[in-house]
């Protein structure tokens, strides 16, 4: 019998990398050709939407279902797709019916509908695909939405940095309490009780559903910005079909290369740890959604949560481990995410220079007379 070789999607081979970049180049050529040959914006938007579906969902999968993937590696990918894909379909169907054909859950209310895309807007998802492949947890909110409403970047930055800080300190408080209640559970060589692990494993399905809904309500706008604001039922079915297919690819590849951001964190492979992370993260997202409909970087909230958790657990339980190792993990995520913001803002500024007519309202974050608020 031929032995099945398990593919390591987090560390693709040289041949896999070549295949990936060839496909990326092909998509880029299709978009560029369509743009210069005068393909109607409607169809260009759908091509960009399909690309954005893979890039945005692929980049953000690590923060929504990354912990789920890490603790559910032994479960086949089909049940995961049925649950998460079915939920994706239901949530968007409800949103579409409630909001008269719109699927962005009010997150694009402050962004004018785009009737003519410029080339940089169309290529942003391709850039995101490449950055994701390089394992950088980039904020899709800044890289994509910033190109469609530069006047909102200052507020999105403020809300996202506030989210990082709140998530960071919330994680320190919550896991400090948990580590004090049961310090042995967070020791490096701890193995959970099998009965307890099965119980938490069942609960994790519920926590993942909870977080998945919170993320869909927040980040679907990053993809839907390429579509007409109001979709008929045929367009809705096509859009959801693309979304579910992209989700299937992500689940089948167990999160892809960027999953390493979660894999290297402490004890996250156990169901209890992953369940608590999902519940805390999902709750923070729901709280921020209730504050305003302004989009924010969920990536920064997730990184803040992991950073606070990693640091406090190291301080309280991992005394034999070098602190520099913990700060290396945390610092690497922050540096990569910061570089992502820098790239995003750089691309936006380039867009304002090349296409000034598409960016009448400029980025004003550094102007002293520009008030910063979340409203």
pLDDT, tens digit, 9 for 90 and up, residues 41-54 = 999 999 999 998 88
pLDDT, tens digit, 9 for 90 and up, residues 202-233 = 888 898 899 999 989 988 888 999 999 999 99
Q: What is the pTM of this model?
A: 0.81
pLDDT, tens digit, 9 for 90 and up, residues 158-178 = 888 899 999 999 999 999 998
Q: What is the reported pLDDT for 59?
A: 67
235, 40 contact by CB (below 8 A): no
Q: Distances from the Cα of 231 to the Cαs of 29, 83, 88, 96, 368, in angstroms?
A: 27, 25, 17, 8, 40
* Structure-token match 């096509």, residue found: 238
Q: How far apart are CA 221 and CA 231, in angstroms?
A: 14
Q: What is the reported pLDDT for 361?
A: 43
**Mean pLDDT, range 324-332, rounded to an integer:** 61
Q: What is the reported pLDDT for 104?
A: 92
Checking if the pLDDT of 35 tops 90, the result is: yes
Span of 179-183, 290-294, 305-309 with lowest mean pLDDT: 179-183
Checking if the pLDDT of 245 tops 80, the result is: yes
Checking if the pLDDT of 16 tops 50, the result is: yes
275, 203 contact by CB (below 8 A): yes
Q: Which position has the higher pLDDT, 316 or 261?
A: 316
Q: What is the reported pLDDT for 20?
A: 82
Q: What angle do CA 139, 152, 367 make, to 5 degrees?
A: 110
* Structure-token match 């979304």, residue found: 243
Confidence of residue 1 (pLDDT cuts 50, 70, 90): very low
CA nearest to 219, candidates 120, 123, 296, 143: 296
Q: According to DSSP H, which parts of the chain are helical?
A: 14-36, 41-64, 66-71, 77-98, 119-133, 140, 153-181, 194-219, 221-224, 233-252, 260-263, 271-291, 298-316, 323-354
Checking if the pLDDT of 304 tops 60, the result is: yes
Q: What is the reported pLDDT for 330?
A: 63
Q: 3-state class of 6 per DSSP?
A: coil
Sign (positive/negative) of CA torsion 153, 88, 334, 283?
positive
Q: Which position has the higher pLDDT, 163 or 183?
A: 163
Neighbours of 269 (CB within 10 A): 16
pLDDT, tens digit, 9 for 90 and up, residues 104-144 = 998 898 888 888 899 999 999 888 888 777 766 667 777 78
Confidence of residue 3 (pLDDT cuts 50, 70, 90): very low
Checking if the pLDDT of 359 tops 60, the result is: no
- Cβ neighbors of 186 (< 8 A, separation 6 or more) are 175, 178, 179, 266, 267, 313, 316, 317
Q: How far apart are CA 153 and CA 146, in angstroms?
A: 6
Q: What is the reported pLDDT for 9?
A: 57
250, 61 contact by CB (below 8 A): yes
* Structure-token match 């997150």, residue found: 107
Checking if the pLDDT of 368 tops 50, the result is: no
Provide the percentage of residues in the chain whose pLDDT is more than 70. 75
Checking if the pLDDT of 333 tops 70, the result is: no
Checking if the pLDDT of 358 tops 70, the result is: no
Provide the percentage of residues in the chain whose pLDDT is more than 90. 28
Q: How far apart are CA 103 and CA 42, in angstroms?
A: 17
Burial class (CB in 10 A: 0-12, 13-18, 19+), 244: middle
């Amino acid at each position: 019998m031929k032995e099945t070789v398990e593919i390591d999607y987090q560390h693709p081979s040289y041949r896999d990398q070549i295949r990936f970049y060839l496909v990326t180049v092909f998509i880029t050529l299709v978009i560029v050709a369509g743009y210069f040959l005068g393909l109607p914006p409607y169809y260009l938007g759908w091509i960009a939407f399909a690309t954005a579906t893979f890039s945005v969902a692929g980049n953000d999968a690590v923060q929504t279902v990354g912990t789920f993937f890490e603790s559910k590696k032994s479960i086949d990918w089909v049940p995961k797709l049925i649950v998460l894909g079915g939920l994706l379909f239901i949530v968007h169907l409800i949103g579409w019916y409630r909001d008269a054909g719109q699927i962005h859950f009010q997150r694009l209310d402050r962004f004018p509908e785009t009737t003519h895309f410029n080339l940089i807007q169309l290529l942003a998802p391709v850039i995101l695909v490449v950055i994701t492949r390089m394992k950088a947890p980039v904020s899709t909110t800044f890289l994509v939405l910033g190109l469609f409403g530069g006047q909102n970047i200052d507020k999105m930055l403020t809300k996202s940095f506030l989210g990082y800080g709140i998530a960071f300190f919330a994680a320190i408080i919550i896991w400090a309490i948990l580590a004090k209640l049961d310090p042995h559970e967070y020791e490096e060589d701890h193995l959970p009780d099998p009965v307890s692990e099965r119980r938490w494993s069942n609960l994790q399905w519920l926590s993942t559903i909870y977080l998945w809904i919170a993320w869909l309500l927040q980040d679907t706008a990053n993809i839907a910005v390429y579509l007409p604001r109001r979709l008929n039922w045929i367009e809705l079915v096509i859009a959801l079909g693309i979304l579910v297919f992209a989700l299937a690819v992500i689940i089948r590849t167990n999160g892809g290369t960027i999953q390493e951001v979660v894999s290297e964190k402490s004890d996250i492979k156990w169901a209890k740890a992953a369940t608590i992370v999902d519940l805390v993260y999902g709750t923070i997202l729901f709280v921020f959604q209730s504050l305003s409909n302004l989009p924010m970087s969920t990536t920064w909230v997730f990184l803040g949560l992991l950073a606070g958790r990693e640091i406090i657990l190291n301080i309280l339980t991992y005394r034999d481990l070098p602190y520099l190792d913990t700060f290396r993990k945390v610092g690497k995520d922050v540096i990569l995410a910061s570089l992502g913001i820098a790239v995003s803002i750089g691309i936006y500024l380039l867009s304002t220079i090349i296409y000034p007519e598409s960016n009448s309202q400029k980025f004003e974050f550094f102007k002293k007379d520009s008030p910063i608020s979340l409203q």
